[in-house]
Structure 1
């Protein structure tokens, strides 16, 4: 948070550092195993401690075949903890594969939160000095995650004011829109690119990540997702059923990167999204179009936005046109925003092939042709053409969503964080010098366990002090509780633009929407990146299936020059 790293970059570092550790651990284990085999030892015998070592390790001396083999009970336990650590790393790696993570997210999450601490403790027990090398990362991880752990057990359900069900195709499934009440602090801190973790205890104990949509002026946050896996299909059957008794909904966040800051680094950006992948950019477009009249146009680098949205669900296109794109037409934006919707539905393509696409079709969405919604209330019927049976306005009781204390600027959290980092380092060093020994295993697990317990106490106190019912204040003095709008001229970051290159405005101001039929070519999607030589720093924002992204990346290498690519993903 202090250095504001890009989450996509941090995710890539996390993935590759994890792969490096796993490969190194496997090689480490294989080399030692080959040495034992060459010395004539049994791998099971040297890795599994004998029964007597569990009950009487102080005086029992195991027997090995070779005098070169280290064969005490300590050596057996050291090998055993190394084996468990390596197995844990392999389990973590196997469940992190894309198909497992996306198809069985609950399995991926549960194995991660159980295998990771066991693996870390076994690594600490395996080698005496490992805790010294791992202490900074270990303490930092505890410091940034413990507040969220504690608050999760203390949080109350959020208030859901509207549930929409949008019928999709048989290939994609239906689409669900949840509108939840939001506190002033949540609206103030909301930024494009943020996402929440949604938890429905009646369905699963595991929280699932979803992009957040917010249109300036609406006192609510929205989650728009596709029903595909077990969790989302179960959520549809539970939440979209009208009547009392619907289960509570829990959310915690915000997480993710600020797409608005990334967009401001470039004179021109191109957004390519497929299907429900448009969700992260709905808020970005709304914030870019919500121009603050007090800002000077010369203070802003961004002048042109081109959006290519490839989608085959007419219902989703129509809904987004009415509920999100319609808002853009009522703003006074100094930025030229061109939205090109590529309708790839089977019926639209067939009509185009038969020469009927030029005639108005009742199935084709028409942006800006329906009257604007008269109310900006979250519980208002959103869109006049939404079938009544697909809109459930009965409220799910709860409290307005507020950001977790991990992401809020609470002094209690910062004091707890600093205390844990420094006292944790002191505890680790003291334990290494005075508690651990070179020939003992159990004491090595004691220090990390004590650090975790100490961190829980610190952050529990900090969490309680940050709540309004307690004596400590939960609001930062001098900050407005209401968001004034996305001030595009603030915190301008030009570090990614080459020095001396122009950021000349391109195109006309305003919002335009164009409908096309059929899947566009990669060259068509990237043509807006072919800029004059004096206009630099184009940005490319992507959210699409892996195969589509591969084609786009290949097209960028083939068709364009230097382009900054921002790829949305829920790998985090």
Structure 2
């Protein structure tokens, strides 16, 4: 007998009626449960008598009588995400083409159309590239890519998986369109004078470099906007978007400085102007001079704002260096915000058409960030997110584990693998910091994050989490959480490989706890011939010097038995790199947990994240986001045509206040509407009871006994872990060039730069796909 569920009840009757004789008796029972985003979904439980496997996910129902007989229904989720992917790619291609042609008036439209359609169609409950992967795999079989002896394996079209080549992405999406535009404009102005060097149109060429800089910034805020729907549809992580932002920013800085220096040379050597001519006269600072730009004031303000923009470019470049970001993140963050704000105002005042050039960035960034900031403000008013547990891990050099309660209307149906949240603790710092999140299989109502005290923020946070208002109660700080961030199909990429190798350094193991939990569940459905699960071997290398940290995670998260990885060869190597592993840290007693002061509310993810399994659920979020994007673009167009004074510079900045106010109003409206919808209402007692019964139906399949006695030494760890093939080794691993180069291998690595480079060097043959977990926000 098989049991499972589907949210496609209309298809169940067809299967039951058409396959009654083949599949025996089929009966259904309607049930209710909750999705990731708080939506209320109707599920139908199937009980069959002669079916070997009944498997489902949010968009697929798979009924299998034997390995050759598969009935599949409701594949809508795959189609929706595939269509979203195609639309997002097409919009970016059209945008790049318009940049290359210099069409600054219409280059925003393709991005607006794509965001509206993608926010409606996209669902995070399935892999957006699942159809594409199956198609690529079948094509590669035709060309012999799967053959172990095939020489075609080295060709690019035979390779799949791994993080995208962001250098190639930057060249295709940023460098080539801007280069085409630059060559076209400069050559066009030179051709007007028959390329005569003595008659070079210096002013026109200087302005061309300024326009190149403007185009480089036209969409450079799109990939770093919070909860970017375009990144989700493309399957890109925000850190990949950050690479595009940085690359575009450097082009904008270089070409912008060339523009400024070129004009300075024109003033000094051609027009013979003096230094003080840069500054406007006293009469220009009057209201008439700023708004109407009478006399020569407009040109003088253009000169002054140009100098200010150049200084801001230099300030942004210096304070954004990797060394400063890594060691002085708070300083970098504050400087980035201050210089960016000054640069934005300066650019708008410097050039009247600049608001049209920057419209993609302004529209998308305001539409994405204002709702997130509004939700953060509401969370702050409610004293932040509720902390349910704090563990200061002994013997771990200051590691702290924090548990945050999820709202009862949320349920962790999806893996948190590849996900992280940004947290802000106003008592310590107003700066947002990213942290990887994971969950315990036995505790689906909480998410956890672990950090080591390495910087000013984490040290202060650890100290604040230890602050007690009495001898028996901890006064928890206000923690504002913005999440989830990250890619949605990281798990599907992992199960698409025959061999998965995980390499983690220290606390980096937290990035893969959710992956391991999900793989345990995924192996139970490998009986289906069409199942995407292809893993045959799973190898983990954990390099850690903190014996207390090893003990904590082995006792609570890494307790696996052989039967939990069905049909998968599982090996785990823990490399103890401490100078002495004599078991002293294991003799440390765990301190009793103190009671936490009850403050804050359960965590609710970003309310406009969308991604619901049912299309109608996305209508509200897509409508709100479309109102934000199209409304902001309309405001920009209106202000440019009707409010801006051609000579006055101050009126050019009014548009920023207008789109900020509009975004705040629409975000508040959407926030209220979504919380009034049925899938954001409180569960009734009957619904909660049905949900608990729904969980119990799967208890025999999904749950395992994870109890493990406390371990007191490294030797005991070795004895207890023989059943699940966990080996404890002393010293650093000795990776060789062929360590990860088995065919169809996915290598997931998280750790310091030296470890990343070591693993990267071992994957040079191209047989393995490498996935890195790192944060450079």
Q: Give the match's secondary structure for 1:22.
A: helix
Q: Distance in 1 between matches of 2:282 and 2:266?
A: 24
Q: Give the match's secondary structure for 1:406.
A: coil
User: Is structure 2 residue 732 aligned with structure 1 residue 522?
Assistant: no
**Structure 1 residue aligned with 2:204:** none
TM superposition shift of 1:518: 0.7
Deviations 1:485-505 (A, max 9, x none): 9xxxxxxxxxxxxxxxxxxxx
Instruction: State which of 466, 469, 473 in structure 1 corresponds to 2:674.
Output: 466
Instruction: State which of 518, 522, 526 in structure 2 corresponds to 1:287.
Output: 518
Deviations 1:244-293 (A, max 9, x none): 43323222211112321321332222222211122211211121123364
User: Is structure 2 residue 568 aligned with structure 1 residue 335?
Assistant: yes
**Structure 2 residue aligned with 1:439:** 647
Q: Distance in 2 between matches of 1:471 and 1:200?
A: 30
Instruction: State which of 560, 567, 570 in structure 1 corresponds to 2:772.
Output: 567
User: Is structure 2 residue 764 aligned with structure 1 residue 553?
Assistant: no
**Structure 1 residue aligned with 2:335:** 111
Please identify, of 540-549 and 274-283, the stretch whose mean Cα deviation from structure 2 is larger.
Answer: 540-549
- Number of residues of Structure 1 aligned to a counterpart in Structure 2: 493
Q: Distance in 2 between matches of 1:133 and 1:59?
A: 22
TM superposition shift of 1:194: 0.8
Q: Give the match's secondary structure for 1:207.
A: strand
**Structure 2 residue aligned with 1:143:** 367
TM superposition shift of 1:42: 5.9
Instruction: State which of 564, 575, 579 in structure 2 corresponds to 1:346.
Output: 579
Instruction: State which of 492, 496, 506 in structure 2 corresponds to 1:265.
Output: 496
Instruction: State which of 249, 262, 268 in structure 2 corresponds to 1:31.
Output: 262
The answer to which structure, 1 or 2, has the higher relative contact order (CA under 8 A, 6+ apart) is: 1
Write 1 or 2 for the structure with the bigger share of helix: 2
Q: Give the match's secondary structure for 1:530.
A: coil
Deviations 1:45-90 (A, max 9, x none): 24332222112636875xxxxxxxxxx2111211222232333333
Contact 1:33–1:43 (Cα < 8 Å) also in 2: no
**Structure 2 residue aligned with 1:208:** 433
Instruction: State which of 101, 112, 120 in structure 1 corresponds to 2:344.
Output: 120
**Structure 1 residue aligned with 2:387:** 160
Contact 1:278–1:309 (Cα < 8 Å) also in 2: yes
Q: Give the match's secondary structure for 2:412.
A: helix
Instruction: State which of 622, 630, 633 in structure 2 corresponds to 1:422.
Output: 630
User: Is structure 2 residue 400 aligned with structure 1 residue 176?
Assistant: yes
Alpha-carbon distance change, 17 to 286 in structure 1, aligned in 2, over 3 angstroms? same
**Structure 2 residue aligned with 1:255:** 485
Alpha-carbon distance change, 249 to 423 in structure 1, aligned in 2, over 3 angstroms? closer
Q: Give the match's secondary structure for 2:725.
A: strand
TM superposition shift of 1:437: 4.3
Instruction: State which of 334, 352, 357 in structure 2 corresponds to 1:133.
Output: 357
Q: Give the match's secondary structure for 1:539.
A: strand
Q: TM-score by structure 2 length? A: 0.59
Alpha-carbon distance change, 325 to 471 in structure 1, aligned in 2, over 3 angstroms? closer
Could you tell me which runs of 5 or more consecutive residues in structure 2 were left unpaired when the two chains were aligned: 1-228, 612-617, 699-722
User: Is structure 2 residue 740 aligned with structure 1 residue 513?
Assistant: no
Contact 2:467–2:474 (Cα < 8 Å) also in 1: no
Deviations 1:392-438 (A, max 9, x none): 45355332212121324565432221112222222222322333344
Contact 2:763–2:770 (Cα < 8 Å) also in 1: no
Q: Distance in 2 between matches of 1:277 and 1:31?
A: 48
Q: Give the match's secondary structure for 1:228.
A: coil
TM superposition shift of 1:106: 2.4
Deviations 1:298-355 (A, max 9, x none): 411233222211111111111111111115667354433322111110114xxxxxxx
Deviations 1:343-391 (A, max 9, x none): 110114xxxxxxxxxxxx53587xxxxxxxxxxxxxxxxxxx8734374
**Structure 1 residue aligned with 2:596:** 394
Contact 2:749–2:772 (Cα < 8 Å) also in 1: yes
Contact 1:308–1:340 (Cα < 8 Å) also in 2: yes
Q: Give the match's secondary structure for 1:205.
A: strand
Q: Distance in 2 between matches of 1:448 and 1:265?
A: 46
CA RMSD of aligned residues (A): 3.0
Contact 2:401–2:448 (Cα < 8 Å) also in 1: yes
Contact 2:415–2:514 (Cα < 8 Å) also in 1: no
**Structure 1 residue aligned with 2:746:** 539
User: Is structure 2 residue 608 aligned with structure 1 residue 406?
Assistant: yes
Q: Give the match's secondary structure for 1:540.
A: strand
**Structure 1 residue aligned with 2:583:** 362
Alpha-carbon distance change, 159 to 427 in structure 1, aligned in 2, over 3 angstroms? closer
Q: Distance in 1 between matches of 2:447 and 2:319?
A: 32
Please identify, of 406-415 and 277-286, the stretch whose mean Cα deviation from structure 2 is larger.
Answer: 406-415
Alpha-carbon distance change, 337 to 129 in structure 1, aligned in 2, over 3 angstroms? farther
Alpha-carbon distance change, 36 to 334 in structure 1, aligned in 2, over 3 angstroms? farther
**Structure 2 residue aligned with 1:507:** none
Q: Distance in 1 between matches of 2:279 and 2:362?
A: 28
